Each structure stands twice: as structure tokens, then as C-alpha cells.
Amino acid sequence: MSITLLANPSCSSTAEENDWISLFNGKDFDDWTVKFHHHDVGDNYAETFRVVDGNLQVNYDGYQKFENRYGHLFYNQPYGSYHFSLEYRFTDQWMEDAPDYTYRNSGIMFHSQDPKTILKEQDWPISVEFQLLAGLGDGKPRPTGNMCSPGTEVIFEGKMDPRHCIDSSSDTFEWDQWVKADLIVFGDSLVIHLINGDTVLRYTHPQIGGGVANNYDTAIKEDGKMLQEGFIAIQAEGQGIEFREIKIKILE
């Protein structure tokens, strides 16, 4: 890792790296694995994850009630050091029996446990979350590109931060606006969040610890274990959203 890259992480061309690899072909998600709370691995309940007009969509038109069916769609290959990128926008779907905080809220999980190790009644994977939010229409700031930590912890501004979520410095975006989100990860050292090309959050040393995740296999949750790699997943927690241009670049 070069000093130049640390000084300006968005200039990833300064590091030795491979070309961009598309993780979504606009037709199917055969290279991905679904896991929903209350359901077995591979059960895409009510076709929540689907492809619509070439975009990967979280869609709730097949639901009567949400009933805490927190879901995640995992890419089948783990990664350690990389630049991950996608574009997202929310839809006008929201399950009213979902918790209030899920409104115009989604996320990208990374350094996650393998979906095959997630128990049927486990709600969230042990992972780090690049949280995606949109404004609530009340004129109040609601940044996107935040960090949340289900079953994990990070070092922020030089110390372990006890908060479950750490806000970024991003602007607030309308729910139906396409937003570009980039995640730069250097194993278990540095993590950088970018929104529309601007660096909005940095933290270090992602590791297992803390709370929030529930009903996991206790053998998986090794508190203090540094997270050098893991799976990437797209979240579904009651709010409709769609994604496009999902790709990754491996960082040497």
C-alpha cells in the first residue's frame, strides 16, 4: 500500500490492481446466495430479490407482512482488499410493520461470515455495514455511506467506538435519486467510504465484537478476531431499493 494511495484513496490507479470485475450481469444473480431471517439458506422468500429492467431490486409486492424477514444477498466469493462500487436508489415501497429505522434505509454488508454459517433464526450476519440512507422529507440532514456494526467493532478516530452506527460526512439525498457508493477495503487495516466520488468516512481495524446480531452460532463469533476478508452482501430489511453497476476491483 503506497503513501500516495493513503493520501488520496479515490485514486486507486496508483496501486497495483486488476481490472474491474462485474458482479451482476443485469439478467440474474446465479453467483449470489440468499439468506432471510426465519428461512433456510437459498430461500428467496416471495422473490424479494429479483431483476427488473436490468437492475437488481429488493421488492416487497409479494408480502402481506414483513415479520422481521431481514434478508441479505451474498456474492459467493469472499474478498479481502478491494474497491467495491455500485449505484443505488430507493423505491416507494416500505413495509409498515418493519421497524421505523428501516424507512429509506438499506446497506451493503462486507467482511461478512459465510451465509452457509448463518442460522435459520439469526437476524443479521456478523459483518460490517456500509449503510445507505435517504432523506425523510423533513428537511433534516440524513447522511448516507455510514458505518454500522452487527457483531463487529471498528477503530474510529484512534479509539474503539462504542456506537453501533457512525455517521458519514455526506450530503442528504432524495429517495428516488441514483447515488454512487464506493467502498475501499484494505483487509483488516483501513476502510474508506465514498459517496458520489467524495470520501465521507474512514475507520480502521474491523473485528468481531459488540452486539446487535442475534441467535448466531457462538463458535462463529470470536470477539477480537480481526476481519481480514469476508463476503459482500446486499441488504433487504423492509424498504424497496434497486442497484446497478455492481462491480469490484481487487487491490494488491
- Over residues 48-82, the pLDDT tens digits come to 999 999 999 999 999 999 999 999 999 999 999 99
Judge whether 15 lies within some domain.
no
Share of the chain above pLDDT 70, in %: 93
Q: Domain span at residue 104?
A: 32-250
Judge whether 92 lies within some domain.
yes
Judge whether 11 lies within some domain.
no
How many domains does the chain contain in total?
Answer: 1
Judge whether 87 lies within some domain.
yes
Q: Specify the amino acid at residue 239.
A: Q
- Span of 8-22, 31-45, 62-76, 145-159 with lowest mean pLDDT: 8-22
At residue 12, does pLDDT exceed 90?
A: no
Judge whether 93 lies within some domain.
yes
User: Which are the contacts of 203, defined by CB distance < 8 A and separation ≥ 6?
Assistant: 147, 154, 155, 156, 161, 166, 191
Judge whether 131 lies within some domain.
yes
Judge whether 76 lies within some domain.
yes
pLDDT of residue 13: 45
pLDDT of residue 252: 79
CATH of the domain at 210: 2.60.120.560
User: Which are the contacts of 116, defined by CB distance < 8 A and separation ≥ 6?
Assistant: 33, 41
CA 24 to chain centre: 15
CB contact at 8 A, 81 and 227: no
Judge whether 17 lies within some domain.
no
First vs last Cα of the chain: how many Å apart? 8
Instruction: Give the phi and the psi of residue 7 in degrees, each rounded to 5.
Output: -70, -35
- Span of 4-18, 23-37, 103-117, 133-147 with lowest mean pLDDT: 4-18
At residue 240, does pLDDT exceed 50?
A: yes
- Over residues 157-202, the pLDDT tens digits come to 999 999 999 999 999 999 999 999 999 999 999 999 999 999 999 9
Count of positions (residues) in the chain: 252
CB contact at 8 A, 15 and 1: yes
